[in-house]
Amino acid sequence: MTNAAGAAKLQVTMLPSFSLYVTASNLERIKQAAEFGDAITIAGPKGPANINKLCAGGFAKPVLFDGTGYAGVELPADRWVSEQHRAGADRALLPGVFVRWDKDDDTEMLTVIAEQARMAADLDATLLLAIDGRLLAKRHTALSDALIAAERPTALVLADPRDPLAIKGAVAGLRSLAGRAPHLSMLRCDHGGLGAVAIGGGHAAMGLSTSTRHFVATGMKARRLVDNTARVFVRSVLDWYRAAEIAGWSSAGAQLGCPLKCCCGESLARYLDGDLDATWHNMNALADFGEFVLNADPDDRTAEFVNACRSAMSRYGLAGIHGPDLPKPQLTSWAFS
Ligand SMILES: [Zn+2]
């Protein structure tokens, strides 16, 4: 599966689409994740080499590569772009830079974006920017102006020690940005990335673990974990919960069966068993929501997405259900957006 740079082909990830976002190291996981969505997104500089190995064995799926340059990985841009093309990338991304939060001034953000835009034009590539979530929440107009001026497709990774879309104003910022900036993709995101697709963005690449659902930059304090049970995406309430919490609701009488082929109606509480891997369920449940968004009429996608968030919200705190009490801030923001 080789495509010469610049060869004419349909770039499926430029259209409304989604993929699962997985690290380059686990080839079996890549094959599993490639069963879902329109493409697969591979994180890390070894992505192209590992996809070449899989392609030699017959693997064929549109692929995007996140080189994670924003995390300090050194990748010469021209070589990295060629590597992606040789591995059949749906489109090549720049290595990626981190854009810091500066509460006083947008100069650094604007300078970095202009530099990256020039490089992207030279190499016929997509910009890859990891941005501090506060820029989305508080500087989205300047950000979208800069992306419009860049005249290139952009892939965005949101950075925050917790959920970047839980920052006050971040969902509204993403709504505005996805409506204005041309060809916006969200990488290393959670299901909120599908909101951007629904509003007018291109592609959402959704991660399956806390470290691949957003980016935590150096110096950002990650939350300390006390409960180490599996994290499970609960499709009916559109959020991630720990298996121990789910088991608690279940023992209080909540019905938490998953109707998808991963679980065939069995309860999600069973993932409390540390020997059971919830990844297959999480892939199926995220992809099910992705398909729901993409199957909506393009004119109704935003409304369908918001309605899905409202329906999910209505399942919280139901008397007699004993499920989760309060939706997390991101879901509330989408539902009331
Ligand atoms: Zn399931």
Q: What is the pLDDT of residues 249-276, one digit of tens each?
A: 888 888 889 999 999 999 999 999 989 9
Q: Tell me if 285 sits within 8 A of 233, measured CB to CB.
A: yes
Ligand 1 geometric centre to CA of 232 (Å): 9
Ligand 1 geometric centre to CA of 41 (Å): 22
Q: Tell me if 33 sits within 8 A of 47, measured CB to CB.
A: no
Q: Residue 271's pLDDT is what?
A: 96
Ligand 1 geometric centre to CA of 284 (Å): 6
The pairing of beta strand 154-159 with beta strand 184-189: parallel
Could you confirm whether domain 12-212 is CATH 3.20.20.105?
A: yes
In terms of pLDDT, which residue wins out, 317 or 107?
107
Please check the confidence at residue 3 and state whether its pLDDT lies above 80.
no
Which structure tokens are listed for 182?
């041309």
Q: Residue 205's pLDDT is what?
A: 98
Strand, helix or coil for residue 84: helix
Ligand 1 geometric centre to CA of 261 (Å): 7
Ligand 1 geometric centre to CA of 124 (Å): 40
Spatial CA neighbour of 205 closest among 229, 227, 187, 222: 187
Which structure tokens are listed for 272?
């409390």
Ligand 1 geometric centre to CA of 197 (Å): 24
Please check the confidence at residue 6 and state whether its pLDDT lies above 50.
no
Ligand 1 geometric centre to CA of 221 (Å): 32
Mean pLDDT of 73-86: 97
Cβ-based neighbours of 115, under 8 Å, separated by 6 or more: none
Ligand 1 geometric centre to CA of 76 (Å): 41
CA distance 203 to 106: 26
Q: Tell me if 156 sits within 8 A of 131, measured CB to CB.
A: yes
Q: Residue 2's pLDDT is what?
A: 43
Please check the confidence at residue 150 and state whether its pLDDT lies above 60.
yes
On average, the pLDDT of the chain sits at 93
Ligand 1 geometric centre to CA of 264 (Å): 7
Q: How confident is the model at residue 213 (pLDDT cuts 50, 70, 90)?
A: very high
Ligand 1 geometric centre to CA of 323 (Å): 17
Please check the confidence at residue 139 and state whether its pLDDT lies above 70.
yes
Ligand 1 geometric centre to CA of 319 (Å): 25
Mean pLDDT of 231-254: 91
Q: Residue 308's pLDDT is what?
A: 97
Backbone Cα Rg of the chain: 19
Ligand 1 geometric centre to CA of 242 (Å): 14
Ligand 1 geometric centre to CA of 48 (Å): 31
Mean pLDDT of 109-117: 98
CA distance 152 to 121: 7
For 285-308, the pLDDT digits (tens) are: 999 999 999 999 999 999 999 999
Q: Residue 219's pLDDT is what?
A: 84
Please check the confidence at residue 1 and state whether its pLDDT lies above 50.
no
Ligand 1 geometric centre to CA of 262 (Å): 4
Please check the confidence at residue 185 and state whether its pLDDT lies above 70.
yes
Q: Which of 116-125, 225-234, 268-277 shows the lowest per-residue confidence on average (mean pLDDT)?
A: 225-234
Ligand 1 geometric centre to CA of 288 (Å): 10
Ligand 1 geometric centre to CA of 280 (Å): 7
Please check the confidence at residue 5 and state whether its pLDDT lies above 90.
no
Most confident of 5-19, 192-206, 314-328: 192-206
200 Rama class: left (phi>0) / alpha (psi -120 to 50) / beta: left
Q: Residue 225's pLDDT is what?
A: 64
Ligand 1 geometric centre to CA of 299 (Å): 30
Q: Residue 324's pLDDT is what?
A: 82
Spatial CA neighbour of 258 closest among 230, 280, 229: 280
Ligand 1 geometric centre to CA of 285 (Å): 6
Please check the confidence at residue 315 and state whether its pLDDT lies above 90.
no
Please check the confidence at residue 323 and state whether its pLDDT lies above 60.
yes
Please check the confidence at residue 226 and state whether its pLDDT lies above 90.
no
> Helical H runs in the chain?
27-33, 47-56, 77-86, 107-123, 133-138, 140-150, 170-180, 193-199, 243-251, 279-295, 301-314, 329-335
Q: Residue 37's pLDDT is what?
A: 98
Ligand 1 geometric centre to CA of 73 (Å): 35
Q: Residue 4's pLDDT is what?
A: 46
Residue ranges, comma separated, of all CATH 3.20.20.105 domains in the chain are 12-212
Mean pLDDT of 86-96: 97
CA distance 337 to 325: 21
Count of Cβ atoms closer than 10 Å to residue 255 Cβ: 11
pTM: 0.94
Ligand 1 geometric centre to CA of 240 (Å): 13
100, 143, 234, 272 from 324: Cα distances, Å: 35, 36, 11, 17
CA distance 171 to 236: 20
Mean pLDDT of 169-180: 96
CA distance 41 to 18: 9
CA distance 223 to 103: 23
Ligand 1 geometric centre to CA of 229 (Å): 16
